[in-house]
Amino acid sequence: MKKSISALFIAATLIFSAATVFAASGASLFNSEGCIACHTINGQGGSVGPNLTHAGSKRSLSWIKTQIKNPGAHFASGSSITINGKSYMAIMPSHKHISASKLNALATYLESLK
Ligand code: HEC
């Protein structure tokens, strides 16, 4: 009995650290994929696009994935839009060729920002 409880504990710890690493790689992709040039998270980044510090509080995982791959599905390219009371020109480039694993890591990271 004791043994299985400690095995469970170890398994839970492993899953938790794997989830942490996963989220961390999403954060680094935010830099390496160039998102930070236009978007700010926690006070760092550009302001061409909306601040994403709380991206996950209003957008779902699948919505964020679509936005990364094909922003035109949400906002007509070149149009003037309002997000959180601020206006933007919808010029986010589509990242059509991003790998599924990068897309997943990036979107999971953004969705975790509440
Ligand atoms: C050239 C500037 C630019 C780059 C680079 C860029 N974005 Fe954007 N992003 C925008 C703009 C402008 C918008 C407003 C909507 C649009 O243009 O589609 C936006 C919208 C978003 C939104 C929706 C925010 C909301 O609250 O509705 C998300 C999420 C997002 N971008 C994520 C990303 C990610 C992830 C990357 C990197 C893979 C990225 N963006 C790269 C400019 C950019």
pLDDT of 4 reads 75
Global confidence as pTM: 0.85
Sketch the domain layout of the chain as residue ranges: 2-111
CATH topology of domain 2-111: Cytochrome Bc1 Complex; Chain D, domain 2 (1.10.760)
Atom of ligand 1 nearest to the CA of 74: 18
Alpha helices (H) along the chain: 2-32, 55-58, 61-69, 100-111
Ligand 1: does its nearest atom lie under 6 Å from the Cβ of 92?
Answer: yes
CA gap 8, 55 in Å, rounded: 33
For ligand 1, the distance from its centroid to the CA atom of residue 19, given in whole angstroms, is: 24
pLDDT of 15 reads 61
Query: Which segments of the chain have a pLDDT < 70?
Result: 1-2, 10-24
